[in-house]
Amino acid sequence: MLPELDQDELLDALAGGVLPEQLPDWDRAVTVLPVLPLCRALFTSSPADTALKLVLLLSLAKAEGRFTRERVRTLLPHLDSDKTDRLLTSLYQGGWLHLRASDNTYRMPPLAFFLLNLLVASDFAGQTPANMLVRAVETVAFGDRIDHDSTGHLLAVLLAELETQAEHTRRILAAGKPRQLIRFSRQEVRAQILHVSQVISAIEERTDTSSDHFARLVRIHEALQDILRAHEGLGRRLAEWNLKRLETSEGGYSLAALGDAILGASDDEILALVRQQVVHAPAPAVGLVTRHLLTRHRTTRPSLKMERDAFVYKRPPEPELEEIALTEIDPVQRLRERLSRALEEGRSLSEALFEDTTDFNDAVFQVTLLARLEGGSCEDLEVAPGIRIRLDAPVVDADTLRGLTTTQALDRLVSLNVLFPTEGRGLHTRVEVTR
Amino acid sequence: MSRQAMDVANALLRLGALDQEDPEQQALRLELFADTVLWDEVATRLRAVGYDLVHVLGHVGVRLSRTAAVDPLVTAKNNLGLDARHVRVLVYLWLHLVYRQIKETLRDEATEPQGREQTLLGLEESDADAPPTLPESELFAEFADMYPKTTLKAALTALKRAGFVRESAGEFRAGPALFVLVDHERMEEHVVGLARKGEVLLPPEPV
């Protein structure tokens, strides 16, 4: 049964234009409200009253059947009967007890029974650092079993807390004071993390790998690993300190007694501390001992000699020599080959010259290559035995094209009869073939 | 072996013990604490040349390893240049500045302080373990019957130079070397042994 919410009070608390349903976690918050009357009736301003009500409720929860007021008084003979009546009335008004009018008997409704069990099982007084992590994850597991919708929320809460703790442990490990480190070492973190991992794995098995829950579970595992790593580093550091052994080797003397012993000791007893290396050298000592160095050198040299492999001469492999294909390195040769192929296939040489040409720059490059081919063969070019070609176009002074755009330059070359537009094939030039 | 580990090992060999009051050395110390892999690499490199990487109550430094120290050729150079007066003062300072700190830390742990807010894993931000100090007047008074004041001052100057002790405003504090260069467990055994021996030699008190 959901208590009625005062809409005016709610709207007064919200910013203008915002509805309660638009608040984050509003739905989840509302689900807790059914226990509001129960909590209000149980947790009064008087701790004594609350404790007595809990005593009464726990007695009723363990007893069977329905209760008349007389039976309740019998169950709790240690309580004053008037007080018992007042407590029963208060609990009845708060919803902890249902009254059947026909026979004036009481019984705890299921919601009250569940809340009472929840409060008892939580064992709030027994929370210690050694079990808080386990409790946190058990709450998630409980929520996951009772109400699957709450799993995501509880995981998010656990993850936020674990990540904070992981960061904290890293900081403690890096710069923590001895007291903090020792306290941390006593939290049985390994056992707790093992338990948490088992619970999380059980939730993981029921979780779809593509869901948000799964991503949170992965991050929880990472945070747990961080905490575990920090804890291991800590254990090692404490062992290095030898603090635990020092603690057990307590001599039972006061500082004053030990101070007197130091003052009363002989010089020889005091200097024994240096002889026995209890106090170490402040500066780096000798790094190399010549005798050791010589011994090592003399003993390792013969063995090194024996281990050395015999040298066998091997003729280096002959490099593989191949004729360099000029077409691979010289674009002029590539043009020559292309023109030759076109001639063999009976295609137009003009077309072959400009095939694969996509823009004006390419066209100029191809014409330049042709000019170089011509230049290399004086006037004309032998593309096949007995077949020679030469560019059949007037020579254009470079100054006539200077400062023109691409389109203007092409138009100028067409007007000077260097290039000829061909329907559907773009621009071409003329080549004279001599056989 | 990473380049960083080599640099840190070299710096530690050069410095001996890291000074917590020097920002650069403090940064180096935190770097070592935060990176366990780096710590292992540096320790391995130092062990190979006869040194131990030591960490005592937050102080980090290097000291000659026990195995290297047994070599007489090495130990011949290792007399510290300290005589019995220096060592006696050093042990007295160790008792009041380091041993007391260790004992207080352990005692605090045995009786968990009440009323502190605990987090999920029982860690807390608050920390009240300020390092112990020893007033100059108290030290001078203790040694007054044994050494003249000038002798005691000379011994303290030598110990300060070696990093065993710090002094400010008439108070002595432990230097990093007093944590790093002393084998605390064996020192305790030795000092307790001295106390036990003195107890046996003392005549019974009259009733």
Q: Distances from the Cα of A246 to the Cαs of A183, A238, A258, B91, B192, in angstroms?
A: 17, 11, 15, 17, 12
Mean pLDDT of A308-331: 73
pLDDT at A287 over 60: no
**Dihedral over alpha carbons B184, B185, B187, B191 (to 10 degrees):** 130
Contacts of A81 (CB under 8 A, 6+ apart): A73
B57/A227 touch (CB, cutoff 8 Å), yes or no: no
Alpha-carbon distance of A268 to A275, in angstroms, equals: 10
Q: Is B154 on the interface with A (CB under 8 A)?
A: no
Residue with the larger pLDDT of the pair B106 and B45: B45
Whether residue B206 has pLDDT greater than 50: no
Which residues neighbour A43 within 8 Å (Cβ) at sequence distance 6 or greater?
A50
pLDDT given at position B13: 82
Selection from B78, B25, B23, B22 nearest residue B50 by Cα: B78
**Which parts of B65-159 are beta strand (E)?**
134-135
> Which of the four pLDDT bands, split at 50, 70 and 90, describes residue B73?
low
B55 touches chain A (CB under 8 A): yes
Q: Which residue of A has its CA nearest to B63?
A: A280
Inter-chain contacts counted by CB atoms under 8 A, chains A and B: 215
DSSP letter, residue A2 = P
Percent of chain A at pLDDT above 90? 5
Token pair, residue A228, equals 């575990």
With a CB cutoff of 8 Å and minimum separation 6, the contacts of A216 are A152, A155, A156, A159
Which positions in chain A touch B196 (Cβ < 8 Å)?
251
Please enumerate in sequence order all residues whose Cβ is within 8 A of that of A176, keeping only pairs 6 or more positions apart, or say none: A184
**How far is the C-alpha of B43 from the C-alpha of A386, rounded, in Å?**
84
DSSP structure string for A190-228: HHHHHHHHHHHHHHHHTS-TTSHHHHHHHHHHHHHHHHH
Which phi and psi (to 5°) does residue A228 adopt? -65, -45
Contacts of B121 in chain A (CB under 8 A): 129, 132-133, 165, 168-169, 184, 187, 189, 227
Using an 8 Å CB-CB cutoff, list chain B residues near A273: 87, 91, 187, 190
- Measured between beta carbons, the chain B residues lying within 8 angstroms of A281 are 63-64, 77-78, 80, 181
Out of B30, B79, B164, the one facing A274 most closely (by C-beta) is B79
Q: What is the pLDDT of residue B93?
A: 93
> Which chain B residues are closer than 8 Å to A161 by Cβ?
120
Interface check A239 vs B, CB under 8 A? no
For residue A99, the SS3 value is strand
Highest mean pLDDT range out of A132-141, A143-152, B27-36, B177-186?
A: B177-186
- Which positions 131-150 of A are in contact with B (Cβ < 8 Å)? 132-133, 136
Confidence of residue A305 (pLDDT cuts 50, 70, 90): low
Contact assessment for residue B176 and residue B61, using Cβ atoms and an 8 Å cutoff = yes
Burial pattern A21-41, b for ≥16 Cβ within 10 A else e, equals: eeeeeeeeeeeeeebebbeeb
- pLDDT higher than 90, residue B92: yes
- Partner B contacted by A371 (CB < 8 A): no
* Chain A: closest CA distance from residue B16 (Å): 6
CB A375 within 8 A of CB A335: no
What pLDDT is stored for residue A181 in this prediction? 67
Among candidate residues A91, A55, A46, A93, the one with its CA nearest the CA of residue A76: A55
How far apart CA A284 and CA A144 sit, in angstroms, is: 61
Q: Which two tokens stand for residue A52?
A: 């007595």
What does the pLDDT read at residue B118? Answer: 47
- The reply to whether B57 touches chain A by the CB within 8 Å rule is yes
Of B30, B64, B192, the CB nearest to A280: B64
- Going through A87-244 in order, the beta strands assigned E by DSSP cover 98-100, 105-107
What percentage of chain A has pLDDT greater than the value 70?
82
A105: left (phi over 0), alpha (psi -120 to 50) or beta: beta
ipTM reported for the complex, 2 dp: 0.79
Could you write out the DSSP letters of every residue in A312-326? ---PPPPPPP-PPPH
Contact: A184, B123; criterion CB under 8 Å: yes
Q: Which uninterrupted H or E stretch holds A278?
A: none
Task: Report the alpha-carbon distance of residue A277 to residue B69 in Å, rounded.
Answer: 7
pLDDT, tens digit (0-9, with 9 covering 90-100), for B106-135: 665 555 544 444 444 544 444 455 678 888
Lowest-pLDDT range, A33-42, A311-320, B40-49? A311-320
| Percentages of chain A per state (helix, strand, coil), in multiples of 5 | 65, 5, 30
Give the least confident one: A127-136, A353-362, B19-28, B123-132: B123-132
Q: Comparing C-alpha atoms, which of B129, B189, B177 is closest to residue A242?
A: B189
Q: Which residues lie closer than 8 Å to A33 by C-beta, 6 or more apart?
A: A2, A3, A5
State the best of B194, B197, B199, B200 to mutate against chain A, taking most chain A CBs within 10 Å: B194
Per-residue pLDDT at A86 exceeds 80: yes
pLDDT higher than 50, residue A322: yes
Which of A31-45, A171-185, A220-234, B109-123 is predicted with the least confidence, judged by mean pLDDT?
B109-123
The pLDDT confidence band at residue B88, using thresholds 50, 70 and 90, is very high
Burial A398-418 (b: 16+ CB within 10 A, else e): eeeeeeeeeeebbeebeeeeb
* A294 close contact with B: CB closer than 8 A: no
- The per-residue pLDDT for B89 is 93
Mean pLDDT on B140-147: 86
Interface test with A, best of B121, B125, B152, B196 (most A CBs within 10 A): B121
Per-residue pLDDT, averaged over A204-221, amounts to 77
Which of A60-74, A311-325, B176-190 is predicted with the least confidence, judged by mean pLDDT? A311-325
CB B177 within 8 A of CB B160: no
Q: Which of A3-12, A267-276, A291-300, A371-380 has the highest mean pLDDT?
A: A267-276
CA A395 to chain CA mean position, Å: 70
Band of residue A248 on the pLDDT scale cut at 50, 70, 90 = very low
Q: Check CB contact of A293 with chain B, cutoff 8 Å.
A: no
* Residues of chain A found within 8 Å of residue B36, distances taken between Cβ atoms: 229, 233
Name the DSSP class of A67. Answer: B
Interstrand relation of A387-391 and A420-422 (parallel, antiparallel or unpaired): unpaired
Residues whose CB is less than 8 angstroms from the CB of residue A236 and which lie 6 or more positions away in sequence, other chains included: none
Residue of B nearest to A236 (CA): B36
C-alpha radius of gyration, chain A, whole number: 48
For A246, which of B34, B84, B188 is closest by C-beta distance? B188
In sequence order, what are the residues at sequence separation of 6 or more whose Cβ sits closer than 8 angstroms to the Cβ of residue B98?
Answer: B57, B174, B178, B179, B182, B184
Tokens encoding A233: 């580093």
Q: How confident is the model at residue B172 (pLDDT cuts 50, 70, 90)?
A: very high
Whether the Cβ atoms of residue B190 and residue A262 lie closer than 8 Å to each other = no
pLDDT, mean over chain A: 78
Q: What is the pLDDT of residue B94?
A: 92
* Residue A96's pLDDT band (cuts 50, 70, 90): very high
Asked if B148 and B79 touch (Cβ cutoff 8 Å), the reply is: no
Is the pLDDT at A433 greater than 60? The verdict is: yes
